[in-house]
A = this chain, B = another copy of it.
Amino acid sequence: MSVTKVVFQGERGAYGEIAAIQYFPTAKLMPLKSFQDVFISAEKGDADYAIVPVENSIEGSVNEIYDLLLETKMNAIGEVYQRVKHCLIANKNSDKIKFAYSHPQALAQCRGYLQRYGIEAMPAYDTAGAVKMIKEKEMFDSAAIASRRAADLYDMQIIEEGIEDRKNNYTRFLILSLIDIKMEIEKDAKYKTSIIFSLRHIPGALFEILNEFASRRINLTKIESRPTKETPWEYNFYVDVEGNLLDKDLSSALESIRSKSSYIKILGSYKRAEFH
Listed in ascending order, the chain A residues whose CB lies under 8 Å from chain B are 55-60, 63-64, 104, 108, 123-125, 166, 168, 170, 172, 202-204, 206-208, 210-211, 213-214, 217-227, 229-233, 235, 275
Contacts and interface: CB of A to CB of B under 8 A. Distances in A.
Contacts of A214: 203-204, 207-208
Contacts of A218: 203
A171 to B, nearest CB: 10
A208 B217 CA distance: 12
Contact of A210 (B104, B168, B206): B206
Given A57-B227, A207-B207, 13 more contacts: A59-B63, A123-B124, A123-B125, A166-B229, A168-B229, A172-B233, A203-B214, A203-B220, A204-B219, A206-B223, A221-B233, A222-B235, A233-B275
Copies of this protein, total: 2
A207 B210 contact: yes
A104 B58 CA distance: 20
Contacts of A220: 203, 206
- Mostly helix, strand, loop or mixed at chain A's interface? mixed
Contacts of A172: 233
Nearest to A242: B203
A235 B211 CA distance: 20
B57 A233 contact: yes
A211 B219 contact: no
Contact of A226 (B60, B108, B219, B231): B60
